[in-house]
Chain A
Amino acid sequence: MSDTADRVSKIVVEHLGVEADKVTQEASFIDDLGADSLDIVELVMAFEEEFGVEIPDDAAEKITTVGDATKYIEEHKG
């Protein structure tokens, strides 16, 4: 697992209170990890904080899986 994917997973585990082995790159925040729309807002804020990237609302709306988040961050981090 890449360093980014690893750090993303850690944030998801911490924020959603889910078991680490459930947080695969394919996992959907809402369907698989029990998140609601506000949890995703909070997760996006945490990703921005951790990686120093800005994730605009229209991009955030397209992030539905852990892998989507990892990919976006890898493409946009400085």
Chain B
Amino acid sequence: MRRVVVTGLGLVTPLGADVETTWANILASKSGAGLITRFDASDQKCKIACEVKPADHEYGFDPDKRVDHKVQRQVDPFIIYGIDAAGQALEDAGLEDMSDELKLRAGCSIGSGIGGLPGIESESIVLHERGPGRVSPHFVHGRLINLISGQVSIKYGLMGPNHAVVTACSTGAHSIGDAARMIRDDDADIMLAGGAEGTICPLGVAGFAQARALNMSYNDRPEQASRPYDKDRDGFVMGEGAGVVVLEEYEHAKARGAKIYAEVVGYGLSGDAYHVTAPHPEGFGAYRAMEMALKKAGMTPSDIDYINAHGTSTMADTIELGSVKRLFGDAIGNVSMSSTKSAIGHLLGGAGAVESIFCILALRDQIVPPTLNLDNPDDGTEGVDLVPHVAKKREVRAVLNNSFGFGGTNASLVMKKAD
């Protein structure tokens, strides 16, 4: 069977515009949260978010680095973040200049949960106030979710599969899992895979707040708002950014002497068939996604040393934890499980990809990132190492990443160090 390895990484997050800066800030227990600056949020119930910082910030993002000025003007932020992260991943893998032959075997699977909401919001206002003749000719293709994959393929000439997953907050994990299957099934030798989101706009914040999913009582203490597993959590903090990995067929990577970060060995998917926003109360869907991923990997729970949890800082945290405990049994005593959403917020469609990259870095550096703000662990967390407050050096042989989304969609990925 064709094996799939990770040979390049790219990140744009609220804690950095590249992989190493973000990771260093994560390990230093920094928070990317703050008051919303992107728009006037004074009338919103939730006034905080984890924004990608502007170019002049210490770890800000400069879109001019990899995204054409004209494209920047036409598209929503999620596409800009996605193009940049994809470019980083290709550069990291040493694949910016592929042969024409290889380009035919290289594709994209970069999705988003929501897509171009800020642009839909602003052009709706243009339509309403000034009429259809003033709507931008770039409106549609500047908002569509598959236009990260589209733009990246045009920029780098990638003519393999061009795909985009849309499964809410599971998007990033599904994107990587699906792309890994495309390589395994010989549709491609190289896939750029990941997810992006950029919905910090009035409609996005109001929508999630009205759905009672966002935090509302930490407007005066933004850095403390994202507190997975803590008794005083009251909703997620919206994040934004992108994560993209280069997936590559193992023999192909070896033959060209590529740096191999990890091997994607397990992928599990399931549906809750329960409720549009709430997870199944027993975490049945989450359990089955994890179980399937482990089975595909040919592993047992005792092989896993680190879990990057979905852990959004909502009531659902303990449901996920309960299903992990049931699946892991006695092996729960060995595993470390943390939620990096405590530091960068919830990147929605980008989360699964960004968090998979943190898992890969945990494998590389043999250190697990912390869960911030875990001051008073909730009932049910006993006996589980949730890595409170500070990162922890430990052996990391294999990792599990969980992502769950609205609609009751679940994805789990298992990765390990490549032999």
Using a CB–CB cutoff of 8 Å, the interface residues on chain A facing chain B are 15-17, 38-39, 41-42, 45
Contacts and interface: CB of A to CB of B under 8 A. Distances in A.
Interface in B52-102: 68-70, 73
B129 to A, nearest CB: 14
B137 interface: yes
B21 interface: no
A17 B138 contact: no
Given A17-B68, A42-B136, 4 more contacts: A15-B70, A17-B73, A42-B137, A45-B133
Contact of A41 (B69, B70, B73, B137): B137
Nearest to B130: A49
A-B pairs, top 8 by smallest CB distance, nearest first, are: A17-B69, A41-B137, A17-B70, A38-B137, A42-B137, A16-B70, A38-B138, A42-B136
A25 B138 CA distance: 25
B72 to A, nearest CB: 8
A45 B139 CA distance: 13
- Chain A CB within 10 A, most for which of B133, B134, B136, B137: B137
A38 B138 CA distance: 7
Contacts of A38: 137-138
Interface residues of B, number: 9
Interface string B29-66: 00000000000000000000000000000000000000
A38 B141 CA distance: 11
Nearest to B68: A17
A39 B69 CA distance: 13
Contacts of A16: 70
B133 to A, nearest CB: 8
Nearest to B134: A45
A15 B137 contact: no
13 contacts: A15-B73, A17-B69, A17-B70, A17-B73, A38-B137, A38-B138, A39-B70, A42-B136, A42-B137, A42-B138, A45-B133, A45-B136, A45-B137
Nearest to B135: A45
